[in-house]
Structure 1
Amino acid sequence: MQSLKIVSRLLPEVRSGLKTHTIRWREKKIVPGPMLYVNASDVSDKILVLVTKVEKMPLSAVAFYLGRQNEWTDDGLLLGMREHYPEIELDSVVDIIHHITSGSS
């Protein structure tokens, strides 16, 4: 089964259904279907989700695409993404992985 690691602070939002997407750059290919999010701090903590679609676009287009342009400035989004991907740029093509929570595993 496909899987992605996720920081533990985001797990409650995934479990509650509030977090319905993740932005990834240069990670393994994810396709629609079942996927496990694995807690990066505790691999025994997993959440089963259903990936509904994956969109590719430059990082600079993400805030508008997700309807967050009032919250996420280019500089703010770039700074946040660089915590995980130090070499990412605004023109880097990222994957927006959309999911629905289907339960815990």
Structure 2
Amino acid sequence: MQSLEIVPRLLPEVRSGKKRHTIRWQEREITSGPMLYVNAEDVSDMVIVWVTHVETMPLFSVAQHLGKIQAWPDDVLLAGMREHYPGIEMDSIVSVIHHLPPASD
């Protein structure tokens, strides 16, 4: 199954269904279908979601595309992305991976 690491602080948002996308740069290709999010600090902590689609676009388009212009002005978005990808720029092409909330047990 395809998988991506995720920082621990975001897993509760994925589990609750509040977080329904992730932005990635120069990582493995993700396709529609099941995907495992794995806690970057504890590999026993994971959650399965269903990827609905993946879009590629320059980073400068992401906030508008996701309706987050107010929350993610360019400087905030770039600073947040550089925590994970120090070399990223606003014109870097990223993947926006959209997924459904995890299935209830």
Shorter-chain TM range is: over 0.9
Q: Percent identity?
A: 65
- In the TM superposition, residue 26 of structure 1 has moved relative to its aligned partner by 0.2
**Contact 1:35-1:49 within 8 A present in 2 as well:** yes
Deviations 1:47-104 (A, max 9, x none): 0000000000000000000000111111110011000000000000000000012348
Q: Does residue 10 in structure 1 map to residue 10 in structure 2?
A: yes
SS of the residue corresponding to residue 62 of structure 2 reads helix
SS of the residue corresponding to residue 35 of structure 2 reads strand
Give the aligned partner of residue 94 of structure 1.
94
Give the aligned partner of residue 84 of structure 1.
84
Q: Taking structure 2 as the reference length, what is the TM-score of the superposition?
A: 0.96
SS of the residue corresponding to residue 102 of structure 1 reads coil
SS of the residue corresponding to residue 77 of structure 1 reads helix
Q: Considering only aligned residues, what root-mean-square deviation do their CA atoms show, in Å? A: 1.3
SS of the residue corresponding to residue 85 of structure 2 reads coil
Gap runs ≥5 in structure 2: none
**Contact 2:14-2:102 within 8 A present in 1 as well:** no
Cα distance 1:26–1:74, how it changes in 2: closer, same or farther (>3 A)?
same
Structure 1: which 4+ aligned runs deviate by more than 4 Å? Answer: none
SS of the residue corresponding to residue 102 of structure 2 reads strand
Q: Taking structure 1 as the reference length, what is the TM-score of the superposition?
A: 0.96
Give the aligned partner of residue 19 of structure 2.
19
Q: Whose strand proportion is higher, 1 or 2?
A: 1
